[in-house]
Chain A
């Protein structure tokens, strides 16, 4: 066990945990940040995706000891108060979900993609998002949502991703 300091959504959290514990477990069990989901435990489905230093990472295969003092953003930290992040709004507008269990991971991956590439074409979206599984099969809507977010609100995307 060790005392670990984490910077999550702009706040500092201190947890007493084995540094080998996955970041996902710490988020969900220690900090009750349950927006990030468990889907496979081996980085195959993307349901647990968070931003570390602004980049999409699979928190289920990220050891918590490796991300101390790096800025971490989870889905809970995307909206500014009542004002949704443009990617969140685009997912609502395009109804890009069914059971929505994959949605937080999809949104986090999409935010990361748009930070790297503010106007991706369809091929680039598919390539980047291919590690995220939606078992309900709403892929075409998610592609549309990402395109919409890219079109409508690029400055805000950059802001959200840099937090």
Chain B
């Protein structure tokens, strides 16, 4: 048990990564690279064991010794084309662009000459998955390193060729230039006919952020044209000759077991029918034919009674197996003497906050195309973990992992919701029976019911504060939603913070920002309540209890931009929330308008100040922050999964409201560019301040304190 305060909680491992297969050893035979890519130069980045441990979820894998592993590699071909291989994947977070920028900057080649091969288990190095905002802090650095090494090698080659000292030469625009002697040579000419290879440890970048030219500037999406013309092929758009369309018979409720299935009518329709344990599916020449065949199957299921969302929060507290693992993993933290400090505080406050299950609703539902060549399986699918899905397929079909290739075309979003390979397994099972390629694309209803949800949770907070606004005691319990962002960054001498695991009634998993959204909602709402209890300004109260300079900076920057302290009109309310997650710092200020008669709540303006170290792509970063705020509006205001007896009751877009154009507030984003601090990711952290900022602003406008997310699914009740 640690006794330190205000140390960042280790990154919470993503839930679904825990089931991932052990890293598969990549063959390091240099000749294979050149056989595959042709002559030229290859530079390989090898991960240090410590880095692998961090990438694969930190402490949960302790005690295991992991093999040295390749992080990424880069090839420069005889025609000057640069091909970069990384196991990371593109789901809209725009890393295909930001990673290309890093390579372009270090290697001094134009953007257009660079191609990224991503998330192909046959071609790219093993990668645990694209999650946890880890691409920018890790992959970006590795690609910088290999690119810089390739550049230095090219300079060395030219120096040898010209018999001149390398320090007289510079790399520029795909060429090595000797300005003294007015000559230059293209990379392509230098590597022609060569088989050069180099292996490097993954380390810090060579070019300091302050000197970045390409990185640090905005760059448009590298293959944007393919997206605006409809040419890009997402997983659901993949086709193969002779392909069939697959459909799966779904259970009538969660955890139902199949008693019997009469598939004779479906078989008479001339389609492939598979019944294998609880799995019943068909493959047909059209989706319509597959749907008709599924409808013709008569199945009997055994179901169990299950709880509904109305009794959820009582259940979560009751089911909690307290102190399951109080010794590690950030699940239990204690400092000072919290019980005594609570009892002796000038003011005490105890409150409970809740968050509902919500759905990711990636606009592209799960999709996969599978084909077998003998016992070799190839699957194109949308997932954040192509190597994890390869492991799931190998396990499902009892074949070695090297018989499975998973390819991940750039996918229609994920938000933490596509860590698993359900559609891949279904398509592969049907393809094996049909002896033809099969594509399975989930309907929206399937995606709502048979994927997984952001965990619901209950947070109990008890605190003590002195009259002067100094917080002296902090006790915080989170039931079920998770431990990401659970620790407080405020300076409090006496603390008890516990995450309680619960057997969740619904299937749950990673969601953008994980539990940091729930924990920040509870903490930052409670901070507001405490500020009011001691009659202090909420910003002043936070700063009084906050030493962390980076967090203070974002709160102050956002407050200044927002105009904190200005006078407000009737129905108008101002509030803030902020914090620290995935190594980034965010402060969010919200202005709301509450119609005090109808209870209608309108989010008028959101100001975010964000600091994630050195900024790589300012416009891409703004896009991520704006997107986090817009997506966050849904979970903050109205998104909630309703369920009863193992069934989702609102699993359609006509029943489950997500943010639309008309929900959009004015978004004002302040970027704090810290060139002296390594860059970290931005896809998650900016979301966490929004819900408490809105809740606090609603209180400011109406005097109504809301402690449950979503805050106003049916408007505000003013009593």
Contacts and interface: CB of A to CB of B under 8 A. Distances in A.
A133 interface: yes
A76 to B, nearest CB: 5
A98 B93 contact: yes
B661 A38 contact: no
Interface in A92-115: 92-93, 95, 97-104, 107
Contacts of A29: 245, 286-287
A122 to B, nearest CB: 10
A7 B365 CA distance: 29
A157 to B, nearest CB: 15
Contact of A132 (B361, B620, B661): B661
A142 B225 CA distance: 16
B626 interface: yes
A69 interface: no
A143 interface: yes
Contacts of B245: 29
A160 to B, nearest CB: 13
For the complex, would chain A's binding face be called helix, strand, loop or mixed by DSSP majority? loop
Given A34-B233, A36-B230, A98 B661 contact: no
A42 B413 contact: no
Contacts of B397: none
B231 interface: yes
A98 B287 contact: no
A140 B662 CA distance: 11
Given A98-B623, A100-B92, A137 B659 contact: yes
B625 to A, nearest CB: 10
A54 interface: no
B224 interface: yes
Contact of B228 (A32, A42, A92, A130): A92
Interface in B260-316: 286-288
Contacts of B631: 135-137
Contacts of A47: 363
Contacts of B412: 37, 99-101
Interface in A5-55: 18, 21, 25, 28-29, 32-42, 44-45, 47
A141 B626 CA distance: 9
Interface stretch (B191-199, B208-216, B549-557, B650-658): B650-658
For the complex, would chain B's binding face be called helix, strand, loop or mixed by DSSP majority? loop
B179 to A, nearest CB: 36
B237 A98 contact: no
A4 interface: no
Contacts of B380: none
A127 B661 CA distance: 8
A81 B658 CA distance: 36
Contacts of A139: 630, 659-661, 664
A44 B624 CA distance: 24
B288 A138 contact: no
Contacts of A129: 661
Contacts of B232: 100
Contact of B229 (A28, A35, A39): A35
A36 B631 CA distance: 23
A37 B363 contact: yes
A96 to B, nearest CB: 9
B627 A138 contact: yes
Contacts of A102: 363
A52 to B, nearest CB: 17
Given A25-B287, A40-B652, A139-B630, A95 B623 contact: yes
A126 B664 contact: yes
Contact of A75 (B230, B287, B415, B664): B230
A45 B624 CA distance: 21
B661 A130 contact: yes
Contact of B220 (A21, A92, A130, A137): A92
A36 B628 CA distance: 26
Nearest to A90: B228
Interface string B414-437: 010000000000000000000000
A44 to B, nearest CB: 4
B221 interface: yes
A100 B654 CA distance: 22
Contacts of B287: 25, 29
A37 to B, nearest CB: 7
Nearest to B218: A95
A79 interface: yes
B411 interface: yes
Interface string B344-384: 00000000000000000111110000000000000000000
What are the 7 A-B residue pairs with the smallest beta carbon separation, nearest first?
Answer: A35-B230, A99-B92, A137-B630, A101-B412, A98-B92, A34-B237, A75-B230
15 contacts: A21-B288, A25-B288, A33-B230, A34-B233, A45-B653, A75-B230, A95-B224, A95-B619, A99-B413, A100-B232, A101-B364, A125-B661, A137-B630, A137-B659, A140-B664
Given A39-B363, A99-B363, 7 more contacts: A25-B286, A44-B654, A75-B229, A92-B228, A135-B415, A138-B623, A139-B630
